[in-house]
Amino acid sequence: MNNERTRVDSEAPMLSLENVFKSFLHHGDVIEVLKGVSLVINSGDSLAVMGASGVGKSTLLNIMGSLEPPSKGLVKFREFNMYQMDEGRLARLRNKEIGFVFQFHHLLPELNALENTMMPALIARFSKKKAAGMARDVLVKVGLERRMTHRAGELSGGEQQRVAIARALIMSPKLILGDEPTGNLDWLTGQEIADLLLQLNRDEGVAMVIATHNQKLAEKMSKKMELIDGRIR
What is the β-pairing status of strands 29-41 and 15-26?
Answer: antiparallel
Report the domain count for the chain: 1
Angle, helix 157-169 to helix 128-141, in steps of 10 degrees: 120
Residue 206, classed as helix, strand or coil, is coil
Contact 134, 170 (CB under 8 A): yes
Owning domain of residue 162: 43-67+87-232
> Would you say residue 170 lies in a domain?
yes
* pLDDT score for 11: 63
**According to the model, what pLDDT value does residue 71 have?**
94
- 162 within domain boundaries: yes
Is the residue at 174 inside a domain? yes
DSSP codes of every residue in 52-113: -TTSSHHHHHHHHTTSS--SEEEEEETTEEGGGS-HHHHHHHHHHTEEEEESS----TTSBH
Phi, psi of 176 (to 5 degrees): -110, 130
Q: What is the pLDDT along the chain (233 residues), one digit of tens a residue?
A: 444 443 444 567 889 999 999 998 877 788 889 999 999 999 889 999 998 888 889 999 999 999 899 999 999 998 889 999 988 888 888 888 898 887 777 889 999 999 999 999 999 999 999 999 999 999 998 889 899 999 988 998 889 988 998 999 899 898 999 888 877 777 777 788 888 888 888 888 889 999 988 888 888 898 999 999 889 88
Residue 16 lies in a domain: no
CATH number of the domain that residue 188 is part of = 3.40.50.300
Residue 28 domain flag? no
Residue 132 located in a structural domain: yes
Question: Residue 154's pLDDT is what?
Answer: 94
Q: Would you say residue 219 lies in a domain?
A: yes
Residue 34, domain member (yes or no)? no
